[in-house]
Amino acid sequence: MKKALVLYYSYSGNTKKVAAVLQKVLAEKYQVNMLELKALDEPDSFVRQCLRSLKKKQAQIQENISFDVSEYDLIALGTPVWAFGMAPAMRTFINKCSDFQLKDIIVFATYGSGVGKEKCLKEMAQISISRGAGVVKQFLVQQNDTADEQRVTLCIKEIL
């Protein structure tokens, strides 16, 4: 059976809910591994979080995360939109992981107002391509919809 990795960062739980639905959907075709990034040095202040994201800072993440993704056929990367971009923990992973070797990549994000949501995914897609991705697919879920499993499932099935 093909293998998929769903790797995500979630500060307040929304992206985690979407990642769980994605796991369920992918499990129809893949053996799915889930990995949640933890940011060990993330401040709790909204303003500081925004500034770190704007400055494209990387976060310190837990040590047991492997950056070797060579065993997977599909890799899904999820983040909340923070100040029009990905959260620093996702930037750490996406910058350090092994080459994507033409694998299928899904980038996804949850967001609030929607400002910067396309910019966030565009950058993740561009970095994925620069790291050797084959096909890059993407989807977005508004924060109020993240608890609606049916709706999230539809969003995912539209891009698969």
Ligand X SMILES: Cc1cc2nc3c(=O)[nH]c(=O)nc-3n(C[C@H](O)[C@H](O)[C@H](O)COP(=O)(O)O)c2cc1C
Residues binding ligand X (CB under 6 A):
10-16, 46, 49-50, 80-84, 110-117, 143
In angstroms, what is the minimal distance from the CB of 29 to ligand X?
Answer: 25
In angstroms, what is the minimal distance from the CB of 117 to ligand X?
Answer: 5
- Please state, in angstroms and rounded to a whole number, the distance separating the CA atoms of residues 159 and 75: 14
List the beta strands (DSSP E) in 24-135. Answer: 30-37, 74-82, 85-86, 104-111
In angstroms, what is the minimal distance from the CB of 47 to ligand X?
Answer: 8
Query: End-to-end alpha-carbon separation of the chain, Å?
Result: 17
- Please state, in angstroms and rounded to a whole number, the distance separating the CA atoms of residues 7 and 16: 10
Task: From residue 128, give the alpha-carbon distance in Å to each of 7, 47, 115, 135.
Answer: 14, 28, 22, 9
List the beta strands (DSSP E) in 24-144. Answer: 30-37, 74-82, 85-86, 104-111, 136-142
> Nearer Cβ to ligand X, position 38 or 131?
38
CB 103 within 8 A of CB 75: yes
> Nearer Cβ to ligand X, position 2 or 55?
55
> Nearer Cβ to ligand X, position 64 or 113?
113
In angstroms, what is the minimal distance from the CB of 147 to ligand X?
Answer: 11
> Nearer Cβ to ligand X, position 113 or 150?
113
In angstroms, what is the minimal distance from the CB of 101 to ligand X?
Answer: 28
> Nearer Cβ to ligand X, position 92 or 143?
143
